[in-house]
Structure 1
Amino acid sequence: MHCVRKVTDDLYWVGANDHRLALFENIHPIPKGVSYNAYLLLDEQTALFDTIDWSACRQLLENIQYLLNGKPLDVLVINHMEPDHGASIEEILLRYPNVKVISTEKSFMLMRQFGFDIDGHELIEVQEGDTYCFGKHTITFVAAPMVHWPEAMVTFDTTSGVLFSADAFGSFIALDGKLFADEVNFDRDWIDEARRYYTNIVGKYGPHVQFLLKKAAGILDQIKFICPLHGPVWRSDLGYLIDKYQHWSTYEPEEKAVMIVYASMYGNTEAAAQALAAKLAERGITNTVLYDVSNTHVSYLISETFRVSHIVLASVTYNLGIYPVMHNYLADMKALNLQNRTFAIVENGSWACKSGDLMQKFLDEEMKCMTVLNERLSLASSLGSDKEDELNALADAIVDNMNEA
């Protein structure tokens, strides 16, 4: 049975939703599912923009067959051929053997690397600024390398103002019948998953996203719809979404907020984290979140780290080093190019308290544009009353720094 949604008079969403997949890219939890978006244009020439993951290919085929209603599929445009979008390319070519395939040189190279049998078909290689006319609609192609694969492009329909944005402007969460961002409460229900998607999937490539945003700025007044490959379609309040991408891609915090991330073996470091949160609340800083690094997936930690301005790292010393999952969190920050944040340190150790110095060294030497406050809370096994002044000093330092920013 088909399941389609109309985007414009002659453009349809023909994708699918996935609630069976537990881990996106086999690493990021998606408890609310994910959508795979593809779009079918019914013009004088019919055109399919991207395909979807193999697991949902049957739904894609049923959707296309229903809308074509016996017509041929003339053109397949591949903006991004990563397998969660490109895995169904071969099936489309088998069902519609006369279809022309439009994509970039690197995209065709990667299709062959993945073993896709494309060379018996008409392949049209496009570059930045090239155009193609389907009849009523003319599209132009914009290179988007490293957003987030090297072959990626985005496609702009100059007739209807639709931007097919590939993996840019996407989000986790299945659509479940709703297609447009204005059909959901995005700021309440979706923004955290949109941020988690961006920061973990695209976050490393902020400069490349900035380059794409600058290109988009030249046609911003012409863009009426943003059609990503995951998540809802945007047809209103585009400035909201672009502002988020501006913050994320320049590594600027969205909010003045404090995130306390703690690594605690027996609960003592956690108790110190809770005490610090209480001290901050007493001083009027209530925009705070606490996370146990041991039972919070790092993708959620990274998302929150992109959101907040101040991070407290509270870690026990483990084998004379940083607690392993805390070290992994720091390594993910580095891998995703995070910068422009202020850190405070809480360290704990029963006989050799090393974690604080090691975390500071990592921030100073391995990362860019990070500030570490001079005040530090150092514990020997547990937080005793003798540490009250040190705890207050750390809370004051965080508050003072937030007020200065």
Structure 2
Amino acid sequence: MTITEDIKYVGVNDHDIDLFEGQHQVENGMAYNSYVITDDKIAIFDTVDAHFSEEWLANIKNVLDDAKPDYLIIQHMEPDHSASIGIFMENYPDTTIVASAKAFTIMKQFFGCDYAEHQLVVKEKDTLELGKHTLTFVAAPMVHWPEVIMTYDSYAKVFFSADAFGKFGALDVEEDWACEARRYYFGIVGKYGAQVQALLKKAAGLDIQTICPLHGPVLNENLDFYLNLYQTWSAYEPEDKGVLIAYTSVYGNTKKAAELLAQMLVDKGCEKVAITDLARDDIAEAVEDAFRYDRLVLATTTYNGDVFPFMREFIESLTERNYQKRTIGLIENGSWAATAAKVMRQLFEKSKEITFTETTVKIMSALNEESTTQLENLAEELCK
């Protein structure tokens, strides 16, 4: 793939992976992106997962032929981007490795070697001249690891953005960018909204025409769309008006209540209604939708004086990612001592700008006339 006349793509697609980072389902695989700038000096941007080292080296050879790289720029030390450093240095032993000081520390932790004789340590606003291309380094700590440094090429107006602006999915699969980028963002980067906001302020001062992330496609059209989504996501603002109903159900009664509420909301003209079974559906997609919409309904049973485990896991997945600025409705089910609503409220105690609906639906074992009326009231309140 050609990015510009001097910048080529040399990454790989992984269709063998089932869980990214050991937890996120990736039915369409993953891309591990790597790039080459050829100029008076040659720079390689990042490596790939160890399982694809040979394919990656062949891609580099195809671009460079017999030329030798001068620099290997390591922007991010997660092994899906750094695990091929060793084999690269075996093939190109005279290369200088460019990275942040923290990256070299983590490099030694992972691989037992930091290539001390080949180091070029860079920090915020340092530059590297390749010829026509001048690279300026942009520190991006905790987007989403502490060592991350991104790179701006002022000649080509290309921003090499490490894991920012990435998405799930291999590059040889056609799919909607926003859906998988949103799931990727909130699953992996979502906790670090303040750090992403700081990065966006830096990016706003750069003339960027192309974004080259370490996952997902190269972005070179309608960049405002992607930047605006990142602005919305990192500020924890709702992206769309709508309601996610997330439920767990043991004998089907809480499920019936969740489905009935969903129908009530549709009948009342709610903009968008999504529903998810937390025991069976992909929890990462549920997290994605919870951040996407401005309203959330949690429906669960009392379980051992607490809430059903999948519900607790879901709420903790939200709160650890700084879930905020949302309206939440609660539905609890209990056959003798219903405590689920109280526990769920407590789980959000440290969350900012959470508004609970006035109506809390209380089901005793199964829906009856009283709890069905409460559902109607909750639907009416959510649709105001």
Query: What interval of TM-score do these two structures reach, taking the shorter chain for normalisation?
Result: over 0.9
1:104-119 mapped onto 2 (5 Å cutoff):
104-119=100-115
**Distance in 1 separating the partners of 2:371 and 2:154:** 64
**Distance in 1 separating the partners of 2:373 and 2:42:** 71
Residue 335 (structure 2) aligns with: 350
User: Which amino acid is 1:28 matched to?
Assistant: H
**Distance in 2 separating the partners of 1:190 and 1:155:** 23
Following superposition, the deviation at residue 190 of structure 1 comes to 2.5
Matched, 1:194 2:190: no
Matched, 1:284 2:307: no
Following superposition, the deviation at residue 45 of structure 1 comes to 1.1
Aligned-residue Cα RMSD (Å) equals: 1.2
Following superposition, the deviation at residue 320 of structure 1 comes to 1.3
Residue 246 (structure 1) aligns with: 231
> Aligned to 1:237, which of 196, 199, 222?
222
User: Which amino acid is 1:138 matched to?
Assistant: T
Q: Which runs of 4+ in 1 moved over 3 A?
A: none
CA deviations over 1:229-275 (Å, ceiling 9, x no partner): 00000111000001110111000000010000011011110000111
**Distance in 2 separating the partners of 1:116 and 1:223:** 37
> Aligned to 1:218, which of 189, 192, 205?
205
Gaps of 5+ in 2: none
**Distance in 2 separating the partners of 1:117 and 1:97:** 14
Residues 101 and 121 of structure 1 are in contact (CA less than 8 Å); yes or no, is this contact kept in structure 2? no
TM-score by length of 1: 0.93
> Aligned to 1:85, which of 68, 72, 81?
81
**Distance in 2 separating the partners of 1:340 and 1:254:** 11
Residues 90 and 118 of structure 1 are in contact (CA less than 8 Å); yes or no, is this contact kept in structure 2? no
Residues 105 and 114 of structure 2 are in contact (CA less than 8 Å); yes or no, is this contact kept in structure 1? no
**Distance in 1 separating the partners of 2:332 and 2:352:** 22
> Aligned to 1:73, which of 65, 69, 72?
69
User: Which amino acid is 1:203 matched to?
Assistant: G
CA deviations over 1:150-198 (Å, ceiling 9, x no partner): 000110001000100000000001001x7xxxxx56xxx2211100101
User: Which amino acid is 1:97 matched to?
Assistant: P
SS at match of 1:374: strand
Following superposition, the deviation at residue 27 of structure 1 comes to 1.1
SS at match of 2:241: coil
Residue 371 (structure 1) aligns with: 355
Residue 20 (structure 1) aligns with: 16
Residue 6 (structure 2) aligns with: 10
User: Which amino acid is 1:334 matched to?
Assistant: T
User: Which amino acid is 2:198 matched to?
Assistant: F
User: Which amino acid is 1:87 matched to?
Assistant: A
Percent of aligned pairs with the same residue? 43
When residues 325 and 388 of structure 1 are mapped into structure 2, their CA distance, relative to the original with a 3 A threshold, is closer
**Distance in 1 separating the partners of 2:64 and 2:39:** 11
Matched, 1:137 2:114: no
**Distance in 1 separating the partners of 2:271 and 2:68:** 59
CA deviations over 1:267-301 (Å, ceiling 9, x no partner): 11000011111111111115100000111232111
Residues 241 and 271 of structure 2 are in contact (CA less than 8 Å); yes or no, is this contact kept in structure 1? no
Following superposition, the deviation at residue 116 of structure 1 comes to 4.5
> Aligned to 2:34, which of 38, 56, 71?
38
Residues 90 and 116 of structure 1 are in contact (CA less than 8 Å); yes or no, is this contact kept in structure 2? no
> Aligned to 1:393, which of 377, 380, 383?
377
Residue 97 (structure 1) aligns with: 93
Following superposition, the deviation at residue 121 of structure 1 comes to 3.6
Residue 297 (structure 1) aligns with: 282
Matched, 1:155 2:139: no
Q: How many residues align?
A: 384
Residues 16 and 37 of structure 1 are in contact (CA less than 8 Å); yes or no, is this contact kept in structure 2? yes
**Distance in 1 separating the partners of 2:264 and 2:102:** 54
Following superposition, the deviation at residue 120 of structure 1 comes to 5.4
**Distance in 2 separating the partners of 1:80 and 1:57:** 17
User: Which amino acid is 2:333 matched to?
Assistant: N
Residues 240 and 294 of structure 2 are in contact (CA less than 8 Å); yes or no, is this contact kept in structure 1? yes
Gaps of 5+ in 1: 179-183, 401-405
Residues 210 and 218 of structure 2 are in contact (CA less than 8 Å); yes or no, is this contact kept in structure 1? yes
